[in-house]
Chain A
Amino acid sequence: SQQGEEDPQALSIQEGENATMNCSYKTSINNLQWYRQNSGRGLVHLILIRSNEREKHSGRLRVTLDTSKKSSSLLITASRAADTASYFCATDAGIGSGNTGKLIFGQGTTLQVKP
């Protein structure tokens, strides 16, 4: 499998429920970022977690990072219909030692929140 694999590929929940999406990666990283994409639209940056961090919060978002397992999870609490979108994790090997800050994206999780 490739760097930045998310699961599940699709998730359907009721409004008010929590949504958890997972991401796994293969190589060492500098940070991991989560992005949101509404259908056919641009990528919106949600949160960045550094390789030396284990958990980060931003509003209703909670991201964890386990570098020993090379995995991350994104939790959206108390979901709303407006959270319906695709969510992507992207890993960044940083700048230096031949790295240029490029992001490697996963396949994404499509989240549907039913009102």
Chain B
Amino acid sequence: EPEVTQTPSHQVTQMGQEVILRCVPISNHLYFYWYRQILGQKVEFLVSFYNNEISEKSEIFDDQFSVERPDGSNFTLKIRSTKLEDSAMYFCASSVYRGLNTEAFFGQGTRLTVV
């Protein structure tokens, strides 16, 4: 069964460093998303991406964040200068949305720890 894959599963970085989180969405999906979950809290929307551009972003997704689909398969989230409060689990998701009601499939997540 097709699945969304994320790498790495766990990343430790020093405050101020840049990190890139990688995702391979399901191949025929058209809509891509990043979410994050701070430990013990709920899953929060960061950004949605369609047709090679950001279609919506939350207030969390400030200038330190960027997304890219560098080729036909990868979807990346970059944090330019990490802060301690960026420590969280980051989830990539994708959906096909050919109809009005389509499930979003999530990857296993990347646990980012900023020290």
Contact = CB atoms under 8 A, between A and B. Distances in A.
Interface of A: 4, 30-31, 33, 35, 40-45, 48, 50, 88, 90, 92, 94-95, 100-108
Contact of B43 (A88, A100, A101): A88
The dominant DSSP class at the B interface is: strand
B42 A106 contact: yes
Chain B: interface residue count, which band?
20 to 34
B48 A102 contact: yes
Interface in B1-55: 31, 33, 35, 41-45, 48, 50, 55
A43 B91 contact: yes
Contacts, number: 74
A100 B55 contact: yes
Contacts of B104: 33, 45, 90, 92, 101, 103
A108 B42 contact: yes
The dominant DSSP class at the A interface is: strand
Contacts of A44: 106
B109 A88 contact: no
B105 A45 contact: yes
A107 B44 CA distance: 10
Contact of B100 (A30, A35, A41, A45): A30
